[in-house]
A and B are shown apart, each in its own frame.
Chain A
């Protein structure tokens, strides 16, 4: 029980001590948002505003979560003897969801400062954003575990991850588009719940399949 807390703490400490990965991601998204601001500033419509934000979040998520397992390569043998695969996966999932939520919050802040914010139901948008982030980060965590053993990791993260993340992404983006267009909870209830169920499917599948990527 306490082992996965230690694993989360260790991930946090690694990020705390060598700050370059996190700073790099924040810089990555700031420069992406700034570039979009230079390209779109002034004539962006509400739907494009929403789609652009999700695309930026998608690319940031790939880059941020890809390190989740690739940084563990040299420590795999210790973990193999010390912990159960489910504990490792649980700690990684919790950490990467929290990590992506922090990143999403920062990018949302920079995004609305530069590109403005149309008026919509803010709380509903945030619920949808959190569900989308859970889906993105859990998918990419699993893909990171799959591509850990391969030689060209960064390319594989994208080509393995993007087709699989599409259910999460189309649901999240279309919900967000409806929210931006002024829909209320009753009208998008069904789609938000299906997004939640896709998240659950991804997490359950990860727990079933992860032990097989771990054994060697």
Chain B
């Protein structure tokens, strides 16, 4: 109980927001649309995963740059663990999107630019982990993986702009398809969606802080 009272305010906020997202996201009325029907509720669980992932990967990039500037090992741990949690969000976003696409587009994978670019970013970050695993020397591992992190993130960004131009998309909000705003006439979706984005991103940040603290403790134990 004492621990709970000491918990920082944003953790409480995060818990309340996610609880609200789950309850309200599943129970509040949604617009009835052909094909989409009730699957529109995935908006509160799938889309925030991408916001969370981009948020965490950007954090990882910032700490990679700070590591190269200072050479402080802590920044490397931040960078690595944020990428770690980011990939969990990415995988969840990909899976929830595939389940949704299976019911609305008729197949889990349909050469959609959004799907392809997310799959590529997953590949990049899995390669980042393999790279970290295959360099023995601690200093070199940190520095070279930071270099790869920056290099690949900076090339992922143009990719996100290039791919949609080359092929047509079924995805809501791109390729001439309306986003959810067009359906959300009574703002019921919006009431949950914005809370969901902030809530899931905070949860990602929370996971990140726990993972970072754990590795810092591990590092200190190894040093002693």
Whether a CB of chain B sits under 8 angstroms from the CB of A26 is no
Question: What mask results when residues 116 to 141 of chain B are scored 1 for a CB within 8 Å of chain A, else 0?
Answer: 00001101101100110011110110
Asked if B148 and A160 sit within 8 Å, CB to CB, the answer is yes
Whether a CB of chain A sits under 8 angstroms from the CB of B155 is yes
- A166-B144 contact, Cβ under 8 Å, with A146-B131, A194-B162: no
Residues of A within 8 A of B146 (CB): 212
Say how far B116's CB is from chain A's closest CB, in angstroms: 9
Say how far A199's CB is from chain B's closest CB, in angstroms: 11
Interface centre among B150, B151, B165, B166 (most CB of A within 10 A): B151
Asked if B131 and A150 sit within 8 Å, CB to CB, the answer is yes
Whether a CB of chain A sits under 8 angstroms from the CB of B170 is no
State in angstroms the CA–CA spacing of A202 and B165 once bound together: 20
Asked if A160 and B127 sit within 8 Å, CB to CB, the answer is yes
Say how far B61's CB is from chain A's closest CB, in angstroms: 12
- A146-B163 contact, Cβ under 8 Å, with A160-B131, A167-B158: no
Residues of A within 8 A of B139 (CB): 216
Whether a CB of chain B sits under 8 angstroms from the CB of A113 is no
Whether a CB of chain B sits under 8 angstroms from the CB of A215 is yes
Whether a CB of chain A sits under 8 angstroms from the CB of B154 is yes
Whether a CB of chain B sits under 8 angstroms from the CB of A71 is no
State in angstroms the CA–CA spacing of A58 and B153 once bound together: 21
Asked if B144 and A146 sit within 8 Å, CB to CB, the answer is yes
A window 32-60: CB within 8 A of B: none
**Chain A residues bordering chain B, tally (CB within 8 A):** 31
Residues of A within 8 A of B209 (CB): none
Say how far B167's CB is from chain A's closest CB, in angstroms: 9
Asked if A209 and B151 sit within 8 Å, CB to CB, the answer is yes
Asked if B166 and A212 sit within 8 Å, CB to CB, the answer is no
Whether a CB of chain B sits under 8 angstroms from the CB of A171 is yes
Residues of B within 8 A of A163 (CB): 120-121, 123-124, 127, 152
Asked if A201 and B158 sit within 8 Å, CB to CB, the answer is yes
State in angstroms the CA–CA spacing of A109 and B126 once bound together: 37
State in angstroms the CA–CA spacing of A170 and B139 once bound together: 35
- A156-B166 contact, Cβ under 8 Å, with A146-B147, A201-B155: no
Which residue of A151, A198, A206 contacts B134 across the interface (Cβ within 8 Å)? A151
| Extra 9 A-B pairs, beta carbons < 8 Å, given A159-B127, A160-B127, A216-B140 | A146-B148, A151-B136, A156-B131, A159-B130, A160-B131, A163-B127, A166-B159, A206-B151, A216-B139
14 examples of A-B residue contacts, CB within 8 angstroms:
A142-B151, A146-B144, A146-B148, A150-B131, A150-B135, A151-B134, A156-B127, A159-B127, A163-B123, A201-B154, A201-B158, A205-B150, A212-B147, A215-B143
